[in-house]
């Protein structure tokens, strides 16, 4: 059942745990309640982590959390058009980098200030200009 929004996205993956160099294969099911003009359907493979920083303002310090994007690969699965009130199905695949770019000496890990292991996500959306996207974000595990 769809909520109060414009529609829903479901992401189905062959599996949810991967080694560097493996392929993430999945299916995206987009269901719309009403026709929508959109820029397209996109899916992103992303590695990110939360970092804490101390911010000073007027002599007062406070902790601020930010998200650092460590890796991102984007694919467009469909183009700009009027999307019908229907169920639309798309398949996608991404290669997990090998080696992981931010775990190598001299790589991103030395640049970013975050601690802890990065979290990996598949993030999918129907990109609606000037409005709220229909979107879904699913966590995957990348070992290594």
* Cis check: omega of the bond before 98, within 30 degrees of 0: no
pLDDT in tens, 62-91: 888 888 889 999 999 999 999 999 999 999
User: Is 8 or 117 the better-scoring residue by pLDDT?
Assistant: 8
In this prediction, residue 112 has a pLDDT band, given cuts at 50, 70 and 90, of very low
**3 state SS of 82:** strand
Distance (Å, rounded) from C-alpha 53 to C-alpha 66? Answer: 8
**What pTM was estimated for this model as a whole?**
0.82
pLDDT in tens, 42-62: 999 999 988 877 777 888 888
Contact 14, 131 (CB under 8 A): no
Return the beta strands (E) in the chain as ranges: 7-13, 17-18, 23-32, 36-38, 40-57, 60-78, 81-83, 87-95, 119-127, 134-142
CATH architecture of 7-45+73-135: Sandwich (2.60)
User: Is 100 or 76 the better-scoring residue by pLDDT?
Assistant: 76
Structural domain spans, the chain: 7-45+73-135
pLDDT value at residue 114: 52
Distance (Å, rounded) from C-alpha 126 to C-alpha 68? Answer: 23
- CA-based radius of gyration for the chain: 18
**Residue-wise burial string across 35-50, b where 16 or more C-beta atoms lie within 10 A, e elsewhere:** ebebbebbbbbbbbbe
């Amino acid at each position: 059942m769809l909520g109060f929004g414009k529609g829903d996205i479901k992401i189905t993956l062959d599996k949810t745990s991967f080694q560097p160099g493996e392929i993430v294969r999945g299916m995206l099911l987009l269901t719309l309640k009403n026709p929508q003009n959109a820029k397209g359907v996109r899916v992103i493979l992303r590695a990110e982590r939360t970092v804490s920083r101390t911010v000073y303002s007027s002599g007062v310090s406070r902790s601020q959390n930010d998200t650092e994007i460590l890796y991102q690969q984007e694919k467009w699965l469909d183009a700009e058009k009027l999307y019908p009130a229907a169920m639309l199905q798309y398949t996608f695949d991404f290669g997990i980098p090998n080696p992981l770019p931010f775990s190598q000496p001299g790589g991103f890990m030395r640049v970013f200030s975050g601690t802890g292991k990065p979290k990996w996500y598949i993030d999918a959306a129907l990109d609606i200009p000037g409005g709220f996207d229909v979107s879904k974000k699913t966590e995957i595990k990348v070992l290594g």
